[in-house]
């Protein structure tokens, strides 16, 4: 059995800020902003008890925004005892309303609500004086903030003073410095709030006394120590996919335990151009890691012979991958630990994720439950951008650290129809041109993904006076924040022109190039 989640979820010797999650996406953004201020933060559910908070001894607590009203039946409310712990606390949006309600102020439908940008004025200490709150020491006397609320605090709780207002929220900020409880009606974590990050920093550094010690090198040190104590002198294996998560996880574990680590790279024959060489050069060459390269293209293509159905393709690839990995792992018999590149958003979402299944995702790391390994997950407290920063700090090459996401089943789900070695060749060559030209245009990092798709149909063309009957290639390029939704990228015409002419001239078997202009929804990013 794969062992359950294990180990500390964050480096305990750092100051930790607990972000209490009241729903929606706000909590993740707050946690990221706190980390950008170099203070470690973790998201906790609103059901956490005061005793559990006290046991964690955080440097501060932040109450996030949320989609509900505190007056709604079933609204998420935290244990009121948390506000009695003496821990510096910041309530944001819904959080200010929670603080007001639990400490004896009053929250009401003020009538108008505020949505979007509005101006905020910190209350001066006296008529011409400095702002009355340390939170606003470093920001202008009036600035724009992002609001999104219907209810508002109409009366601050006893002991609190009002420290700022907006046109429709007379209590847009309040605090009780004695109890170190602060609250804001606006969202300092969103980019549209001018000075928002500065306000968060003032709370973290001035109120909570946090030190800015959460840096990529402290992350690496903590992960190295934790991996060492978890695995001792035992052997560890790690599946490499060519993607950034498994690469950074492998490099971190290697830093921790050196040649106790063996990496396994399964070449499915469905990878992007240069991927296998890149993995070889980086891990065997640069890092001198023990690397087993399993050449399995024939086996995968054999298993996929004549299969056109997308779900069957995914299933076959997933199963074949597991078989190959199991056989390889059996040859490395004494390894007891398996590295997984699990990220923090996976941890936050697991358990709450109940979305309808659109596609059965095959994760390269998604190995079966009955494999006798204990998991090593050195990235489980990190967001994707932090994983990239760690990768850079560890010296991984830019091509790996900044590589666009690539689906586990690889090029197979970009060939719409049955898969043959020749079709994989065509798609790989076209895809390499897309990547090269998008990079050359300086757009590679801005795009979430940009790639080629090969629908297995043929169309008539004319090349050098001759009739051709060959495949079209479709260019797919999207912008996105998290792949849940995406927009088709408005690629410049001259880039599209170069793509069209290079693909048709350089890739045999292609006589037409088309552009996919579908957002997600209604489309998905991949074609299958």
Quote the least distance from Cβ 375 to ligand XMP, whole Å.
17
Please report how close the Cβ of residue 525 comes to ligand XMP at its closest, in angstroms.
Answer: 3
Short-list 216, 238, 240, 242, CA closest to 404? 242
Where b means 16+ CB within 10 Å and e means fewer, 81-97 reads: ebbebebbbbbbbbbbb
Please identify, using beta-carbon distances, which residue of 260 and 268 lies nearer to ligand XMP: 268
> Could you say which DSSP state residue 501 is in?
H
| Closest C-alpha among 103, 127, 113 to residue 182 | 103
Of the candidates 38, 93, 175, 386, the residue annotated as catalytic is 93
Would you say 156 or 248 has its CB closer to ligand XMP?
Answer: 248
**What whole-number distance in Å separates Cα of residue 87 and Cα of residue 54?**
9
Q: Indicate which residue of 189, 275, 386, 437 is catalytic.
A: 189
Residue 401 CB, nearest approach to ligand XMP (Å):
17
Write down the catalytic residue from 46, 187, 254, 362: 187
Output the six-digit token pair for 437.
């030209």
Residues in the chain: 528
The smaller minimum CB distance to ligand XMP, of residues 186 and 321, is found at 321
Least Cβ distance, residue 317 to ligand XMP (angstroms): 8
CA geometry: angle at 316 spanning 475 and 284, to 5°?
75
CA distance 84 to 204: 19
Q: Which residue has the tokens 């065509």?
A: 426
- Residues in the site for ligand XMP, rule: CB under 6 A? 314, 358-359, 361-363, 405, 407-409, 449, 483, 520, 524-526
Residue position matching structure tokens 């046991």: 55
**Alpha-carbon dihedral sign for residues 131, 135, 136, 137:** positive
* Omega prior to 423 cis, within 30 of 0: no
Distance between CA atoms of residues 177 and 131, nearest Å = 14
**In the complex, minimum distance from the CB of residue 222 to ligand XMP, in angstroms, rounded to a whole number:** 27
Q: Of 219 and 238, which has the nearer Cβ to ligand XMP?
A: 238
Task: For the CB of residue 364, give the shortest distance to ligand XMP in the complex, in Å.
Answer: 7
CA dist 265 and 295 (Å) reads 9
Q: Which residues are 282's β-sheet partners?
A: none
- Reading the block at residue 307, the tokens are 């299969």
Residue 187 catalytic?
yes
Q: Nearest 5 degrees, angle CA 297-CA 375-CA 38? A: 105
Nearer to ligand XMP, 235 or 520 (CB): 520
Nearest to 517 by CA among 472, 484, 487, 480: 487
Segment holding 348, helix H or strand E = helix 344-349
Cα–Cα distance measured from residue 293 to residue 345, given in angstroms and rounded to the nearest whole number:
30
To ligand XMP, the closest distance from the beta carbon of 178 in angstroms equals 49
Q: Which is nearer to ligand XMP, 4 or 522 (CB)?
A: 522
What is the distance between the alpha carbons of residues 30 and 201, in angstroms, rounded to a whole number?
12
Look-up: residue for tokens 């609001």?
147
In the complex, what is the shortest distance from the CB of residue 441 to ligand XMP, in angstroms, rounded to a whole number? 21
Smaller CB distance to ligand XMP: residue 328 or 363? Answer: 363
Contact 499, 433 (CB under 8 A): yes
Mark whether 46 is an active-site residue: no
CB-nearer residue toward ligand XMP: 385 or 497: 385
Active site positions, annotated: 93, 187, 189
């Amino acid at each position: 059995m794969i062992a359950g989640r294990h180990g500390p979820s964050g480096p305990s010797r750092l100051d930790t800020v607990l972000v209490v999650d009241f729903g929606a996406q706000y909590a993740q953004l707050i946690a990221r902003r706190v980390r950008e201020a170099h203070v470690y933060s973790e998201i906790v559910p609103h059901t956490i008890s005061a005793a559990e908070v006290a046991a964690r001894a955080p440097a501060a607590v932040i109450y996030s925004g949320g989609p509900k009203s505190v007056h709604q039946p079933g609204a998420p409310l935290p244990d009121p005892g948390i506000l009695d712990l003496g821990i510096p606390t910041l309530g944001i949006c819904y959080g200010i309303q929670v603080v007001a309600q639990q400490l004896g102020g009053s929250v009401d439908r003020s009538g108008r609500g505020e949505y979007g940008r509005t101006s905020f004025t910190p209350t001066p200490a006296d008529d011409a004086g400095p702002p009355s709150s340390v939170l606003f020491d470093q920001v202008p006397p009036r600035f724009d903030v992002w609001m999104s609320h219907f209810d508002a605090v109409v009366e601050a709780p006893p002991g609190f003073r009002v420290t700022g207002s907006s046109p429709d929220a007379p209590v847009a900020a309040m605090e009780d410095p004695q109890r170190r409880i602060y609250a804001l009606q606006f969202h300092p974590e969103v980019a549209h709030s001018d000075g928002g990050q500065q306000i968060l920093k003032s709370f973290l550094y001035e109120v909570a006394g946090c030190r800015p010690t959460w840096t990529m090198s402290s992350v690496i040190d903590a992960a190295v120590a934790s991996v060492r104590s978890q695995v001792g002198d035992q052997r560890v294996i790690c599946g490499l996919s060519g993607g950034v998560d498994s690469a950074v996880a492998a490099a971190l574990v290697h830093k921790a335990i050196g040649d106790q680590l063996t990496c396994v790279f399964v070449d499915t024959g469905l990878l992007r151009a240069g991927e296998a060489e890149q993995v070889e050069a980086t891990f065997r060459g640069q890092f001198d890691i023990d690397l087993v390269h399993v050449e399995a293209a024939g086996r995968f293509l054999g298993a996929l012979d004549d299969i056109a159905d997308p779900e069957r393709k995914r299933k076959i690839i997933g199963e074949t991958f597991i078989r190959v990995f199991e056989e390889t792992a059996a040859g490395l018999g004494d390894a007891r630990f398996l590295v997984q590149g699990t990220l923090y958003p996976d941890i936050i979402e697991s358990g709450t994720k109940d979305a309808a299944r659109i596609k059965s995702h095959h994760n390269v790391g998604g190995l079966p439950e009955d494999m006798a390994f204990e998991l090593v997950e050195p990235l489980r407290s990190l967001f994707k951008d932090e994983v990239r920063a760690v990768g850079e700090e560890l010296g991984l090459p830019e091509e790996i650290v900044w590589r666009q996401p690539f689906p586990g089943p690889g090029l197979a789900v970009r060939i719409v129809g049955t898969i043959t070695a020749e079709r994989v060749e065509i798609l790989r060559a076209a895809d390499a041109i897309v990547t090269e030209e998008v990079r050359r245009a300086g757009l590679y990092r801005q795009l979430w993904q940009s790639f080629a798709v090969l629908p297995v149909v043929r169309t008539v063309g004319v090349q050098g006076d001759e009739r051709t009957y060959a495949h079209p290639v479709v260019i797919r390029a999207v912008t996105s924040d998290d792949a849940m939704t995406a927009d088709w990228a408005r690629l410049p015409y001259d880039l599209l022109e170069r793509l069209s002419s290079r693909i048709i001239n350089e890739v045999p078997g292609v006589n037409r190039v088309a552009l996919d202009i579908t957002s997600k929804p209604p489309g998905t990013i991949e074609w299958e």
